[in-house]
């Protein structure tokens, strides 16, 4: 049987660290939805932010399991 793993995220605003945890934990901390946290880690969000030429935007990085 396949074990479902819980993905963890590290969230940053520019170079400033905001939080680390599951999508739910980060969402609760920032006052947004879990879907928003997952979107912050998407390639689409990354492309949009690079196109905006801004440097002070939020981004989430999905962390790898240490198995």
- Written as tens digits, the pLDDT of the chain (67 aa) is 566 678 999 999 989 999 999 999 999 999 999 999 999 999 999 999 889 887 789 999 999 876 5
Residue 5 lies in a domain: no
Tokens of residue 14, six digits: 């520019």
Sequence-distant (6+) residues with CB within 8 A of 36 are 27, 30
Residue 33 lies in a domain: yes
Residue 30 lies in a domain: yes
Residue 63 lies in a domain: no
Burial class (CB in 10 A: 0-12, 13-18, 19+), 30: middle
Residue-range definition of the domain harbouring residue 41:
23-52
* Single pTM value for the model: 0.83
Residue 1 lies in a domain: no
Residue 29 CA to its chain's centroid (Å): 12
């Amino acid at each position: 049987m396949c074990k479902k793993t819980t993905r963890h995220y590290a969230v940053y605003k520019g170079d400033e660290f905001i939080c680390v945890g599951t999508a739910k934990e980060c969402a609760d901390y920032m006052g947004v939805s879990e879907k928003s946290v997952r979107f912050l880690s998407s390639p689409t969000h990354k492309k949009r932010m690079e196109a905006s030429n801004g440097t002070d935007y939020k981004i989430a990085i999905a962390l790898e399991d240490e198995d």
